[in-house]
Structure 1
Amino acid sequence: MTAASACTTKPVPAAATSTATTCALDDPGGAVQAGELGRSVLLASRLALRTPLADLEAEHPALAHRLSRVRAALNAPDPPAMATPDDGQDIDHVDRRRRLWAEHDAVLTEIRRLPGLDRFLLPPTWNELRPAATGGAVVLLNAGLQRCDGIVVTADGPPLLVPLPDLRLADAEAWAAELTDATHDSGSFTGELRRQRVLTELLGRLWDTAVEPVLDAVEQRLRPDDGVLPRVWWMPTGPLGLLPLHAAGHPARTGALDRVVSSYTPTLRTLARAQGRPAATALRRLTVALDRTPGLPDLPATTAEAASLHAADPGMPLLTNEQATAARVTGALPQASWAHFACHAGTNPDAPSEGGLHLHDGVLSIAEIGRRNLDEAELAYLSACSTGHVGRRHADESIHLASAFQLAGFRHVVASLWPLDDRVAADAADHFYRLMPNTPAADDTAIALHRVIRHLRAEHPGRPHLWASLVHSGP
Structure 2
Amino acid sequence: MTRQELQDLASEGPIVVVNISDIRSDAVVVTRSGIQSIFLADLTRTEVMAWLREGLTVFTPHETPVDRGKKNKRYIHFLHWLWEKCVRQVLLVVYQSVNLTSGSLPRIWWIGVGVASSLPFHAAGDHSDGSSDNTLSWAISSYTPTIKALAHARGRRSTLGRDRTTKPHLLMVSMPTTPGERALPGVTQEICAIQEATSTAFSHESLVHTDARSVLARLEHCDMVHFACHGTSDALGPFNSSLSLQHDPSEAATVDPLSVQQVSNANLGRASIAYLSACSTAENRAVRMMDEVIHLASGFQVAGFGHVVAAMWPSVDAACVEMATGFYGQLKDGLGERDTDRAVAEAVHKATMQVRSRLRRIPLSWAPYIHFGA
TM > 0.5: yes
Say if 2:129 is the partner of 1:250. no
Q: Deviations for 1:309-339, whole angstroms, at most 9, x for unmatched residues?
A: 3453785431012xx1111111110001100
Distance in structure 2 (CA, Å) of the matches to 1:418 and 1:340: 17
The SS at the match of 1:444 is: helix
> Which residue number corresponds to residue 49 of structure 2?
173
> Which residue number corresponds to residue 424 of structure 1?
319
Q: 1:150 aligns with which of 12, 24, 27?
A: 27
Distance in structure 2 (CA, Å) of the matches to 1:317 and 1:226: 40
Is the Cα–Cα contact under 8 Å of residues 287 and 310 in structure 1 kept in the other structure? no
Distance in structure 2 (CA, Å) of the matches to 1:377 and 1:419: 25
Q: Deviations for 1:318-364, whole angstroms, at most 9, x for unmatched residues?
A: 1012xx11111111100011000011111111221212000122211
Q: 1:212 aligns with which of 76, 88, 102?
A: 88
Q: Describe the shift of the 1:161–1:278 C-alpha distance in structure 2 as closer, same or farther (beyond 3 A).
A: closer
Is the Cα–Cα contact under 8 Å of residues 234 and 286 in structure 2 kept in the other structure? no
Residue 443 of structure 1, CA deviation: 4.2
Q: Give the AA of the match of 2:78.
A: L
Q: Describe the shift of the 1:219–1:400 C-alpha distance in structure 2 as closer, same or farther (beyond 3 A).
A: same
Distance in structure 1 (CA, Å) of the matches to 2:150 and 2:298: 11
Aligned length: 348
> Which residue number corresponds to residue 105 of structure 1?
none
Is the Cα–Cα contact under 8 Å of residues 110 and 144 in structure 2 kept in the other structure? yes
Q: Which aligned pairs between 1:374-385 and structure 2 lie closer than 5 A? A: 374-385=268-279
Q: Deviations for 1:28-74, whole angstroms, at most 9, x for unmatched residues?
A: xxxxxxxxxxxxxxxxxxxxxxxxxxxxxxxxxxxxxxxxxxxxxxx
Residue 129 of structure 1, CA deviation: 2.5
Q: 1:462 aligns with which of 316, 341, 361?
A: 361
Q: Describe the shift of the 1:133–1:300 C-alpha distance in structure 2 as closer, same or farther (beyond 3 A).
A: same
Residue 182 of structure 1, CA deviation: 4.1
The SS at the match of 1:303 is: helix
Q: Give the AA of the match of 1:307.
A: C
Is the Cα–Cα contact under 8 Å of residues 43 and 85 in structure 2 kept in the other structure? yes
Is the Cα–Cα contact under 8 Å of residues 238 and 286 in structure 2 kept in the other structure? no
The SS at the match of 1:193 is: helix
> Which residue number corresponds to residue 334 of structure 1?
220
Greater gyration radius: 1
The SS at the match of 2:332 is: coil
Q: Describe the shift of the 1:185–1:205 C-alpha distance in structure 2 as closer, same or farther (beyond 3 A).
A: farther
The SS at the match of 2:219 is: helix
Q: Give the AA of the match of 1:137.
A: P
> Please, what TM-score do these two structures have when normalized by structure 1?
0.70
Q: Which aligned pairs between 1:213-292 and structure 2 lie closer than 5 A? A: 213-252=89-128, 253=131, 254-280=133-159, 283-292=168-177
> Which residue number corresponds to residue 370 of structure 1?
264
> Which residue number corresponds to residue 17 of structure 2?
140
> Which residue number corresponds to residue 83 of structure 1?
none
Q: Describe the shift of the 1:272–1:308 C-alpha distance in structure 2 as closer, same or farther (beyond 3 A).
A: same
> Which residue number corresponds to residue 183 of structure 1?
58
Q: Describe the shift of the 1:376–1:444 C-alpha distance in structure 2 as closer, same or farther (beyond 3 A).
A: same
Distance in structure 2 (CA, Å) of the matches to 1:355 and 1:234: 22
Structure 2: any 5+ residue segments left out of the alignment? 161-165, 248-255
Is the Cα–Cα contact under 8 Å of residues 194 and 324 in structure 2 kept in the other structure? no
> Which residue number corresponds to residue 180 of structure 2?
295
Distance in structure 1 (CA, Å) of the matches to 2:112 and 2:202: 40
Q: CA RMSD in A?
A: 1.8
Q: 1:319 aligns with which of 207, 232, 251?
A: 207
Q: Give the AA of the match of 2:344.
A: T
> Please, what TM-score do these two structures have when normalized by structure 2?
0.88
Q: Deviations for 1:56-111, whole angstroms, at most 9, x for unmatched residues?
A: xxxxxxxxxxxxxxxxxxxxxxxxxxxxxxxxxxxxxxxxxxxxxxxxxxxxxxxx
Is the Cα–Cα contact under 8 Å of residues 183 and 195 in structure 1 kept in the other structure? no
Q: Deviations for 1:201-257, whole angstroms, at most 9, x for unmatched residues?
A: 110110010000010000011143442111110111111111111110023232111
Say if 2:229 is the partner of 1:343. yes
Greater relative contact order structure (CA < 8 Å, 6+ sep) = 2
Is the Cα–Cα contact under 8 Å of residues 334 and 374 in structure 1 kept in the other structure? yes
Is the Cα–Cα contact under 8 Å of residues 284 and 294 in structure 2 kept in the other structure? yes
Is the Cα–Cα contact under 8 Å of residues 356 and 365 in structure 1 kept in the other structure? yes
Q: Which moved more, 1:255-264 or 1:442-451?
A: 442-451
